[in-house]
Structure 1
């Protein structure tokens, strides 16, 4: 097993043992793949797929050869799937980052009395960010440990150390994740966006770190500078909202000028971006705040007051709309949750350190980033603005608080809240469409070295049997509750397989990618229509629970799909559902209505049957079935299902 070094500073060495991500048995993955897809495609198509899979997996065939090569790769690397996964999930993707990729965390609505009040909030937030980064740099963050079934197992911490030192640079065919190594590039500045202008806020002046009052002073200067129309620069932040290839092409034009290269380099090496937004003119309800976080309301509002390539981008609106927008490739949701919860607790629990005197006698004027434009660049910017506006108009979002009950009721049924909600999502989709589709629910594999996620395929045969029973007026309650337990158990078993490195998606991805590396003809299994269908996640879901008042949201991953992020609380369930107006197959409001109805029907079913029917013996006494008699892994644990990617 490899030793995972946590990049200790100045000779301080701390390490802990983490296993490598396993390579699942080939036959197990192929059998599971067929099981996952049989009920999601037509029978004729399935029979064709079954024959293709059989040929792929036969003794001495292509599958065995690729499996052997994958095992060899595993022996030579710390994590055989990491690079494949990162490129496939993010760096190779060409869609624009807003909505399509970048998730957002929406903070509670703030009640600012005036602009200076919002700047005080921003200064305090930046102070919290610097404190959290200091904890990261000094390796003072406590190591996360797995709970439940494999309690005590340390979890990989590397994602935390990429919160503030990474940048996603656009490429013509593939983006690059830049990682600034400590000691090589000193990150001593943040970028502040205000009125679509970008300013450098140096955090160290004359060898001294700025105090909170200093930061506030600099933010006030930035706001004043941004109001100067004579020095106003073009809204170059719009470029980062465009498709990745289009942005890469525009970047190639920009960097022909040295001043543009210098401005880009300063942004790429910053610690984070802080966006000081003007009032949006929209209502400040949950849905409107979520929209402003995801895409800024387009170029007519705050869409150009962003730099979407930077992983950590904090938004502080003068009207109290606040949150963070994240470029997702360096880290998963649990890291974002941990960071933002720390900041929210810092904001409410740590008094603002605004002294009368500043710590630095003379603060230099913050530097405005300068851009050299041209007719060609202006034309490219206008095209960017139009494409962003189309994306804004197309997004159909509904943030909904289901208040009839929360996870405590589900736990009383001795059911996993996560599995229960996943089944409810399947029921809602079936009610709307009369079928089930490939569904993505992320499962953390952080118990392994550099582990990211695999997929829990929630659209199981057992889930289909349940939703059919629930929509059959002839089905009895006893049959329905049995089908519900079958679906819960199947979902739980899939979860356990995924978090222990036995999921099918990463394995199939590895087999496909290693065939490319070997310059082989693409195996038929990966060109099969069923494989294409299996990776079109019309229902993209994730549980992102929080312990403080905030919520996460993101967009669909396919044009005719839904993005559904849910936050189970004790007495209510919060759902952020997105789809696209351009699809005739989807409607966020219709889906929410079906979800509401299904959750109420499931409660009624449980309430009617729990008096006369005990839970199945395999789950008696615990909310989730375990393996080998061990306690199950709680779905709300930080290392289970906390993000879609």
Structure 2
């Protein structure tokens, strides 16, 4: 359609004496500007690629080394110890190369080699330093001398102003834990969940595996860790996500909410205009590698690989396995509104559309009253339905090959799958409203699954815009984890509110350009048979969506600040509260999944923290035991919190349990080796699945100055049919938002009830610290009274 639009500028008139060709000056100007922009973009990418490629050195350092070597020629010093002369002899003795020219070239070649040597030396030194993780196991606020020295060395070798991908070559590889350690930690993790006989059986299976099959599988895993950049990530993406044949809506995709209390404008088109423009700014910086890399302690770099596929990416369905298609620099966006698909070009004259121009385009789509074409309304339900053959169902992959492989259907589908991202302009308002009961619940369900046909669940993400000005994002999970999309969303919200802004009437700032071509409708010719397939997929998806029992809960009694004053980790505090809530809700303990990142390693993604430990169980039982004292409960809490923190740290540093066992299982399947132990481990249900949404760019918004500009985090669907999914975000000092999901079809679960248990568990644990603090305050007071009594006597 872009080509068709530009072709309007060329007018042909056929005359007897030939063809009269008239050129539109405006179109020629736009073509020229587009070409200039494209070459500028290539130049910037090349420059930033060079800067990242030679980091922590710089091109100017090469020039310095060359100058030093050249200077040595004139003062008759040879720092190369004869190597320059050797290079001079090797150079071809062509007639046009004088002795002096060969000497200069030899010095430059030696200087370049020396420079490259120092680059690799710095990189491998930095990689060795980054392989040290002792700092993460030290108590908060207590840093050893060795860690201080290590931190200083890392800072010194990290250079100045690193780009997004500057540290990639210096990140260490994820280590493969020993089988003995993994099995030992696994058995410790299941001990509180099994009775004596069950544990003995599992122990027997584990030791049989260790003695018979583990060594061979481990050897191949170690070989892979030497060869591949990460021994887990590619298999994790393929077997956990892309080979999954169940619907990805609810089961895989997750969502991220808008600001909790603030809506910058209530004009839908204006808010969408600013947000889309902010996303384009983010994408431009991402493509150029200009974002600052995320660093723990402000120093230890995190892997940025996942960010590469954020835009222009689609999960393409396959019969047995899907693939992730990532394209470069796509210039259009697909917009869905009331059953119609529109293609919107994001550039004009070699630049991004301005927010005011995007607002105009979105308003045109909102004003469009045309009807959906036959089958178009629920077309996106194909991405929400089954990906494998079931009774009376055709999977998305087969439908795609049969009905969308040629003609206008293929062209329109290609437009969707190659778009920068997908935008849904909804027609029903959503968002958190304290005056409305369950408004957060409805908002979350809208973001998670919508109407099952108004999100393109295969796109890397779908941006969702509501008529009241609220926004949100639905994210496909295979290409990246939640913190990656969260990083982009933090940038977008801050840019929208504090840099772009709105007029007093709520419109985007800037002049309105009425000369832009209207967004183009995508054309479809969907057969009756295909419409039946779409309807079947919709009914499958709707059944899943209707079964989601969701509850959003704002915990405002206290927050991170008060928890830290209790000298404990906020995450450990919440995880133990979840264990207490789970036991009160179900009466039993269960295998608990907490997601931890491994991005301190190259291509790292996640690891599992098994939060239901023996120490956590002992604490929960003490809380429910009326004969236990608060002193005993608090002591057990501290022990359980310390155990949890240690497990979290081990997971972050490559000593987790589950990814290692998962990879051993994959190797066993490749060799056709049957392992009852691995099969049992991989089939265990996670009835409580939890995840914390991190805040990564605290510098973007000063929450102390703007306390209302806080995000609500995001959530995901239930993992087990009879379990809970819990996501939480700790915002500022006094707010924790919980996103709780389960299934209505389970008679044992109730998301709202679980939220009430979380609230009580949080306050009950906090009460233990209040009693301890009161006791500390009373004891000095008694001491003062005794001292005063002695003085009076």
Question: Where on the TM-score scale, by shorter chain, does this alignment land: which range?
Answer: 0.7 to 0.9
Q: Distance in 2 between matches of 1:419 and 1:395?
A: 28
Q: Secondary structure of 2:301's match? A: coil
Corresponding residue to 1:356 among 511, 515, 518? 511
1:388 matched residue in structure 2? 541
Corresponding residue to 1:584 among 738, 747, 759? 747
Corresponding residue to 1:21 among 174, 181, 204? 174
Corresponding residue to 1:243 among 386, 400, 410? 386
The 5 Å alignment of 1:589-628 reads: 589-612=752-775
Q: Secondary structure of 1:9's match? A: helix
Q: Distance in 2 between matches of 1:398 and 1:222?
A: 33
The 5 Å alignment of 1:293-332 reads: 293-296=447-450, 298=451, 303-332=452-481
1:557 matched residue in structure 2? 719
- CA offset digits 1:110-129 (Å, max 9, x no partner): 76987xx2101111111101
How far did 1:428 drift?
A: 0.4
Q: Distance in 2 between matches of 1:342 and 1:230?
A: 35
With 444-453 and 103-112 compared, the bigger mean Cα shift is at: 103-112
- CA offset digits 1:33-74 (Å, max 9, x no partner): 11111221232222111111111112xx31011111111111
The reply to whether residue 161 of structure 1 matches residue 301 of structure 2 is: no
Structure 1 contact 197–305 (Cα < 8 Å) conserved: no
The reply to whether residue 338 of structure 1 matches residue 487 of structure 2 is: yes
2:226 matched residue in structure 1? 75
Q: Distance in 2 between matches of 1:97 and 1:531?
A: 20
Structure 1 contact 196–237 (Cα < 8 Å) conserved: no
2:100 matched residue in structure 1? none
Q: How many residues align?
A: 585
2:645 matched residue in structure 1? 492
The reply to whether residue 95 of structure 1 matches residue 246 of structure 2 is: yes
Q: Distance in 2 between matches of 1:144 and 1:65?
A: 38
Corresponding residue to 1:413 among 566, 574, 577? 566
Q: Distance in 2 between matches of 1:231 and 1:113?
A: 32
Q: What RMSD, in angstroms, separates the aligned Cα atoms of the two structures?
A: 2.2
The 5 Å alignment of 1:194-213 reads: 194-205=337-348, 207-213=350-356
Structure 1 residue runs of 5 or longer lacking an equivalent are 1-6, 615-645
2:152 matched residue in structure 1? none
1:9 matched residue in structure 2? 45
Structure 2 contact 378–535 (Cα < 8 Å) conserved: no
The reply to whether residue 121 of structure 1 matches residue 268 of structure 2 is: no
Q: Distance in 2 between matches of 1:458 and 1:487?
A: 10
Change (3 A) 1:112 1:9: closer
Structure 2 residue runs of 5 or longer lacking an equivalent are 1-42, 53-165, 389-394, 434-438, 503-507, 699-709, 778-793
Corresponding residue to 1:568 among 722, 730, 737? 730
- CA offset digits 1:306-336 (Å, max 9, x no partner): 1111112111111334211111111222222
Structure 2 contact 269–360 (Cα < 8 Å) conserved: no
The 5 Å alignment of 1:171-570 reads: 171-180=318-327, 182=328, 186-205=329-348, 207-225=350-368, 227-229=369-371, 233-245=376-388, 246-279=395-428, 285-296=439-450, 298=451, 303-350=452-499, 351-352=501-502, 354-358=509-513, 362-517=515-670, 519-528=671-680, 531-533=682-684, 536-546=685-695, 548-569=710-731, 570=733
With 105-114 and 483-492 compared, the bigger mean Cα shift is at: 105-114
Change (3 A) 1:206 1:599: closer
- CA offset digits 1:360-399 (Å, max 9, x no partner): x842232211222112111112112222221222111110
Structure 1 contact 110–322 (Cα < 8 Å) conserved: no
Q: Distance in 2 between matches of 1:43 and 1:613?
A: 42
Q: Secondary structure of 1:131's match? A: helix
With 404-413 and 232-241 compared, the bigger mean Cα shift is at: 232-241
Which structure has the highest helix share of the two? 2
Q: Distance in 2 between matches of 1:431 and 1:411?
A: 25
Q: Distance in 1 between matches of 2:535 and 2:176?
A: 48
2:296 matched residue in structure 1? 146
Q: Distance in 1 between matches of 2:661 and 2:691?
A: 21
How far did 1:249 drift?
A: 2.7
Q: Secondary structure of 1:86's match? A: helix
Q: Secondary structure of 1:33's match? A: helix
With 571-580 and 241-250 compared, the bigger mean Cα shift is at: 241-250
Q: Secondary structure of 1:229's match? A: coil
2:138 matched residue in structure 1? none
Q: Secondary structure of 2:296's match? A: coil
How far did 1:611 drift?
A: 4.7
- CA offset digits 1:562-616 (Å, max 9, x no partner): 11011123113211111000001211112111111111111111211245579xx
2:285 matched residue in structure 1? 135
Q: Distance in 1 between matches of 2:424 and 2:758?
A: 35
How far did 1:415 drift?
A: 0.4
How far did 1:264 drift?
A: 1.6
1:637 matched residue in structure 2? none
Q: Distance in 1 between matches of 2:773 and 2:178?
A: 40
Q: Distance in 2 between matches of 1:21 and 1:403?
A: 39
Structure 2 contact 340–371 (Cα < 8 Å) conserved: no
1:618 matched residue in structure 2? none
Change (3 A) 1:113 1:81: closer
Structure 1 contact 112–118 (Cα < 8 Å) conserved: no
Q: Distance in 1 between matches of 2:644 and 2:773?
A: 21
Change (3 A) 1:337 1:228: same
Q: Distance in 1 between matches of 2:471 and 2:200?
A: 52
Q: Secondary structure of 1:22's match? A: coil
Instruction: Give the structure-1-normalised TM-score.
Output: 0.87
Structure 1 contact 439–538 (Cα < 8 Å) conserved: yes
Structure 2 contact 232–663 (Cα < 8 Å) conserved: yes
1:40 matched residue in structure 2? 193
Q: Distance in 2 between matches of 1:87 and 1:468?
A: 40
Q: Secondary structure of 2:738's match? A: strand
- CA offset digits 1:133-164 (Å, max 9, x no partner): 111011110011122xxx62211111222211
Change (3 A) 1:612 1:57: farther
Instruction: Give the structure-2-normalised TM-score.
Output: 0.71
Change (3 A) 1:434 1:262: same
Q: Secondary structure of 2:673's match? A: coil
